[in-house]
Amino acid sequence: MRVLMIAPPGAGKGTQGARIAARLGVPHLATGDLLRRHVALGTSLGRAVQEHLDRGDLVPDGVMQDLVRRSLADATADGGGYVLDGYPRTPAQAWAAYRIAASLDATAHIALHLRVDDDEVVRRLLARSAIEHRTDDTEPVIRRRLALYHRVTEPILQWYRYRGILLSVDGMPEPDRVTSTVVSALRYRRPCPDPVPLAA
């Protein structure tokens, strides 16, 4: 199965994405993790994106497209599925994700949306900052990421709803409950045929 994950920062994309990918037996491709790995390794890509990550800004589209194209090509090389977490985040990325996946004959079956309140997101990320020390988990940067999510990411849910592949799940309960809700919902959703996009 091929799944896209769309959720505000702190909603549990990373935790749930890893668990769901393991249950489905497919790779978990988390764009934030891929970018942070480049930063940690000091690659030229890492140096180019570090400031964007630290400020909570989006990394430029061209960089993201290359990264996602390579990851999806690897994941689907032998007909495999994927859980793509953190992409798309804008209408332009939604369209790019569709084009990249269509070129690999591997468009998403499900767009999984986790719903979590803003106050809960801020609480979770501030709690995480005490443990993980991510450079973007300070309150001003969290607020900026959240505002960006509402402004540019949330609107793309409509496209997936229209295509009939949106699965929207309450992300507020404790992690095990969210996982079992998602896993049982996926079990009852048979992968549907390639959905028709809005425009050519």
Half-sphere CA count of 159, side-chain side, radius 13 A:
24
Write the binding mask 137 to 156 for ligand ADP: x where contact by CB under 6 A, - elsewhere. Answer: --------x-----------
Q: Are 140 and 54 in contact (CB under 8 A)?
A: no
Cα–Cα distance for residue pair 100/44, rounded to 1 Å: 23
3-state class (DSSP) for residue 178:
helix
Q: Is 11 annotated as a binding residue?
A: yes
Cβ atoms 88, 97 nearer than 8 A: yes
| 124 binds ligand ADP, rule: CB under 6 A | no
- The Cα 173–Cα 35 span in angstroms is 29
List 16, 31, 76, 179, residue binding ligand ADP (CB under 6 A): 31
Return the range that interacts with ligand ADP (CB under 6 A); candidates 70-78, 81-89, 112-120, 191-199.
81-89
Q: Is 136 in the site for ligand ADP (CB under 6 A)?
A: yes
Pairing of strands 110-115, 166-170: parallel
Is residue 145 marked as binding? yes
CA 28, chain centre distance (Å)? 10
Among 32, 46, 80, 91, binds ligand ADP (CB under 6 A): 32
Annotated binding residue 134: yes
Nearest-approach distance from CB 97 to ligand ADP, in angstroms? 9
Nearest-angstrom CA–CA distance, 175 and 15: 8
Give yes or no for residue 171 binding ligand ADP (CB under 6 A).
no
Q: Dihedral, CA atoms, 27, 28, 32, 35, nearest 10 degrees? A: -10
71 binds ligand ADP (CB under 6 A): no
Binding-site annotation, residues for ATP: 10-15, 128, 173
Interface residues toward ligand ADP, by CB under 6 A = 9-10, 13, 31-32, 35, 52-53, 56-59, 64, 86-87, 89, 93, 136, 145
Annotation: binding site for AMP = 31, 36, 57-59, 86-89, 93, 134, 145
